[in-house]
Amino acid sequence: MRFHNFLLLISLASTPLFAATAYHNQVGFPTKGVKQLAVVGAEGKDIVFKDSTKQTVLTVKAPAAAYWKPANENASLVDFSEIQKPGTYIAYLGDSAISHPIIISDKVLEDVTVASLRWFYYQRASMELTEEFAGIYARPMGHPDTAARYHSLLGKELMATFASPKGWYDAGDYGKYIVNSGISTYTLLQLYQHNKEYFKTLSLNIPESKNDVPDILDEIRWNLEWMLTMQDPEDGGVFHKLTTKQFSGTVMPDRDTKPRFAIGKSNTATWNFVAVLALASEIYKPYDSEFSKKMADAAGKAFWWAKEHPYDFFEQPSDVGTGTYEDGNAVDEQIWASAELYRITRNDSVLDVMRQFPLGKSRWKLQGWQTTSALAAFTIATNPDVFEQVDVDSAKALILHLADDYIKSLKNNGYGVAMTEGDFYWGSNSVGANKGIVLLHAYILTKKEEYLNAATGILDYLLGRNPLNLSYLTGYGVNQVFNPHHRPSQADGIDAPIPGMLVGGPNKSANDCAKKYIDNEAVARSYYDNACSYATNEVAINWNAPFAYLAGSIHAIISSGKTYDLHSSVEKFEINGIPSGKPNFSKNLDSGVRMIFREGSVQLEKTTKTGMKIYYNLKGKKLN
């Protein structure tokens, strides 16, 4: 893909044709709901909104400017929600146009929802993308994965192979990783679960679109079927990842032909597997009861393996250089998986496991692949009838505490974006999108408009209401990112990248070619639109999934006026492999783990396969 210089984008933004002292969502606004733009240098002045015939439809006096530290800039947040007629508008200051075209439409957010979900089709492994569905981005099949190998440290028979096809490529590379796949798949499942009526009829134009299953579920199933292949049939544990030993070069998928290996078997991957398969088994039951049962049983078998291997964390072998997704504490994954499995089984053994680690204040963290307690809170708080024997109030407190913190950050915030300086690290755009998910859960619980409006403000940020005047979603916006770190988009010979990808975004700690663009005084500007910058411009399934949830849920809520029913019924599953009693796990230590007295306390010492010793407290927290 030819390089489109980021500086050129900025220079275009400063020319009269693209002049913009008003920063706003460049894709557009729904007819209903909050509509805002951030204007620099207009405090106390009249902002005039004109329609396509240049007739004035609204005049708003710009409020006092307020400082947003990530931009190191004062701006006035101008609200034009009063305009609810579909059309194209321009904001003026005096005789000068200060905005891009402002699109207002009933379907405007549906476009980006579809695009962000369709991108998962473009990420499919083991499948040819045909012109009928992929258009100019059609490509041969890559990575059939019908004869994947086992890494030698797994202790399997030499040269043994297994079939592990399908699934989504994780990011800009061609690896498939259970841990990151877990939260991504789960987020999309929740998007459907919370907005079923809307997604039942939404077409994504994918090969399965003509069947009787919602398209979003057909797309998710492509990854679920791969996840099932990653469970070891011998014991129920789940392999951590399927990759080549080193990252490929910048080539198309069919040109990456080196052997691929199942690498590692970890408790974090297994807990992820349990959580996702448990939720999926309930969602898919009306459409394919056999597939539903297969997932539920697999989740049950994996649950006990993970519980009996609490210290079997992933260790990157010395001959492997692909992504690690290492995590030395699996307690939050255990809480999440237990909540999902209990939701569909009401099994006392699972309940007992879940109660071991309550959702106290130490768990009040934004969700991400490494921190999943909030995912458990989402399930518990939105299913109060199921979790009568659990502390539902703590789950609600986690969500509302986080959401209220985000609301507080909007005070005297001229951009109206619930993000702070500390959010601008690797994948900052997904940080914003995940904050939006928390805010939407708070809205589901309380119906308070401030939460919905704050979530909308984050979506507006991602689509243009930011100090770089950029839409961070490929293919959408007047000034859109153009050079993502994404092998197919770099190697396909097509100028424009595949549409619908959310790039990582500003990163104050970028350590690649974007390093020279770090702005410590305005961290929201620390970004470089160049494929060489994986630290600011890579794409990933765990970034697109929360964006899809954010855009899709806002559109569904605003267009229907409805939210998820907190008292919807959940059918009880009978799952093979879960005992009815309460097993004692105190004696079930992993191999290579022993209790010792060290530094004044009882600790667990684990000797890794490479001979290194790692220490944990009795709750599984890794110690220095």
Tell me the average pLDDT across 285-312: 95
* 243 bridge partner residues: 261
328 within a domain of the structure (yes/no): yes
- Same domain for 197 and 151? yes
For 250-274, what is each residue's pLDDT tens digit?
Answer: 999 999 999 999 999 999 999 999 9
Tell me whether residue 529 is one of the annotated catalytic residues: yes
Which pLDDT does position 349 carry in this prediction? 87
Cα gap 293→289, rounded to integer Å: 6
Cα gap 75→507, rounded to integer Å: 22
**How do 176-177 and 87-93 pair as beta strands?**
unpaired
537 within a domain of the structure (yes/no): yes
Tell me the average pLDDT across 283-291: 97
Which entry of 282, 308, 333, 529 is annotated as an active-site residue? Answer: 529
- Same domain for 300 and 378? yes
- Same domain for 469 and 605? no
Which entry of 240, 485, 486, 555 is annotated as an active-site residue? Answer: 485
For 228-243, what is each residue's pLDDT tens digit?
Answer: 999 999 999 999 999 9
Tell me whether residue 197 is one of the annotated catalytic residues: no
- Same domain for 314 and 171? yes
- Same domain for 545 and 622? no
Stronger pLDDT, 20 or 160, i.e. the higher one: 160
299 within a domain of the structure (yes/no): yes
> What Å distances lie between residue 55 and 22, 50, 277, CA to CA?
19, 5, 55
265 within a domain of the structure (yes/no): yes
Range of the domain at 619: 589-624
- Same domain for 395 and 317? yes
- Same domain for 538 and 623? no
Which pLDDT does position 603 carry in this prediction? 72
115 within a domain of the structure (yes/no): yes
Which pLDDT does position 1 carry in this prediction? 37
For 87-121, what is each residue's pLDDT tens digit?
Answer: 999 999 999 999 999 999 999 999 999 999 999 99
- Same domain for 555 and 594? no
- Same domain for 472 and 597? no
Which entry of 173, 297, 308, 423 is annotated as an active-site residue? Answer: 173
Number of domains in the chain: 2
For 195-237, what is each residue's pLDDT tens digit?
Answer: 999 999 999 999 999 999 999 999 999 999 999 999 999 999 9
Which pLDDT does position 460 carry in this prediction? 98
Cα gap 390→346, rounded to integer Å: 11
Which pLDDT does position 595 carry in this prediction? 59
Which entry of 170, 219, 315, 538 is annotated as an active-site residue? Answer: 538
CATH number at residue 460: 1.50.10.10
For residue 516, how many other CB atoms are within 10 A of its CB? 7
